[in-house]
Structure formats: C-alpha cells, structure tokens
Amino acid sequence: MQTYQRLRTNPRQALRPRPPYGSSPIPTYKHLISLVQEGKLSFKNVVTFNMDEYVGLPRDHTESYHTFMFREFFSHIDTRLAGELLNGNAKNLIEECNQYEARIKAFGGIELFLGGIGEDGHIAFNEPGSSLASRTRIKTLAYDTILANARFFNDDIAAVPRMALTVGVATVLDSREVVVVVTGQRKALALSKAIEEGVNHLWTLSALQMHPWALIVVDEDATAELHVKTVKYFKSIERVQDEVEAMHAALTAQGIEDDHVGSME
C-alpha cells in the first residue's frame, strides 16, 4: 500500500456541507470531465460499477447515488455504455446483489475502484465489523453513519435510509487497482487505524493492506492522527520516487534503456 500527500488548495471547501455519498472523488471527477471535454480522454468503452446504493430510496431522490452519479459525472462525460448501479428498490435484494457480482465477473472484473471512506473507516458501505471476505450484499448502516447523514435529509434522522446495498470488502480487494481519497480531520482517526495498525474488520479500509496495488490519497488534515514518523516516512518515499523518476527521465532522454528503474514498483 502506498500513501501520498495531497495538500488541500481551498480550505473553505471543507466547511461546505458535503453530500453523504462519496463526495471525496468529486475533484477527480472534475479533472476527468475536463480531460473528456478537451478530447484527451474518452469513456466510450468504459463500463462503470458503483460501489453502493441506499435501500428503499427512490432512484430519482436527490440523495440517491443514482442522482449523484448522473449529476456529478455521467451527464458530463461521453459514456456510451450505461453505468452499472445497484438497485436499492429491487424486489429481491439478495438476487440483485448476486447478479451485480455476476455482472462484474462477466465484464472481466473491476480494473479500478475509486472511492472514499466514512469516518468510521468504512469502504463503500462496509461498516465496522464487516467480514473481510464479504461480497455485494445488504448492509445495515451503523447508527453513527445514519446520524452523520441526517443533515442531508433535513436533519430528520427518521428519513435516513437504514440499509444499503454495497460491494463487499472482497469485491474491492479483487479489483486490479484501488484508489481511495481521504480528506479532512474527521477521517484522521480512520486513516491512522487503517495504515498504522493491522488488518482489522472494525476499520475496513485497513483491508487495503492486503492489496498489491492500492493508493490512498490524503490531505494534510487527514494526517492529524498519524505518527510524525509515519508522515515523514511516506513523504520520504514520495521524494525518493520523484528522484527515481527524474533519473529515469534523464536516462530515457539520453536514449538509454533503463529496465531496472522501469520494473520497480
């Protein structure tokens, strides 16, 4: 697992109320959208699978993941293939989850999962205590998650869905690459539990320690609970990596093949 620092450029952003459903990747979506608009990137041959969806929330509800994805991403890119989203209103929710796993398999598996985490360290909606071997399934939300999300339902706790469909921890681990964005002090404890302690089902992000190609992107605030030596260690790795890349670029510019550098990751 690698961890990188990304300093927040606009501190006021953190003060704005954020939707409860994965707003962490929004800056990444914006960047991808501008690349599409500049003609440098295309999603014509890309199939996307969302990680989770509330159970029982109408698909066109302002807080559903369907609405969010269309508003923030799908409506701005040149997607030709429909994005796959879990249907939290399916008659048979278990069947819906099983079919989702089957559809992922039919497409040859997930290439890249991009997501955020909850304050309790959950990845997708794999709340504390989720099995690390879990697959797409129905999940009861932790009360803390329900409370945290109430502000998006007019502070009406009763209106917040109690359950969600979510890909499992093992579904995430099966992905060829995983990128998780962790920002803000609210997520600092979860980050420290996930990277400074062992793999633990109480902080499901920690399962990424088992993944061969996982990247956690963090801002300065999210490092608040880390040991100084942990932060220094990861910053030093970044520095060394930059040096290696500069060396590689210099050799390539001289027309020298550099298999050794090229093969290290």
Ligand X SMILES: N[C@@H]1[C@@H](O)[C@H](O)[C@@H](COP(=O)(O)O)O[C@@H]1O
Catalytic residues: 52, 120, 122, 127
Which residue, 77 or 182, has its beta carbon nearer to ligand X? 182
The sheet carrying 2-5 orders its strands as 2-5, 214-218, 177-182, 112-115
- Shortest Å distance, C-beta 43 to ligand X: 21
Q: What is the C-alpha separation between 113 and 40, in angstroms, rounded?
A: 21
- Shortest Å distance, C-beta 181 to ligand X: 7
- Shortest Å distance, C-beta 98 to ligand X: 20
Which residue, 88 or 116, has its beta carbon nearer to ligand X? 116
Which residue, 122 or 226, has its beta carbon nearer to ligand X? 122
Q: What is the C-alpha separation between 27 and 23, in angstroms, rounded?
A: 8
Asked whether 65 and 21 are in contact (CB, 8 A), the reply is yes
For the chain, give percent helix, strand, coil, nearest 5.
Answer: 45, 15, 45
Which residue, 152 or 213, has its beta carbon nearer to ligand X? 152
- Shortest Å distance, C-beta 125 to ligand X: 4
Beta strands in the chain (DSSP E): 2-5, 52-54, 112-115, 137-140, 163-166, 177-182, 214-218
Q: What is the C-alpha separation between 213 and 215, in angstroms, rounded?
A: 7
The residues binding ligand X (CB under 6 A) are: 18-24, 51-52, 115-118, 124-125
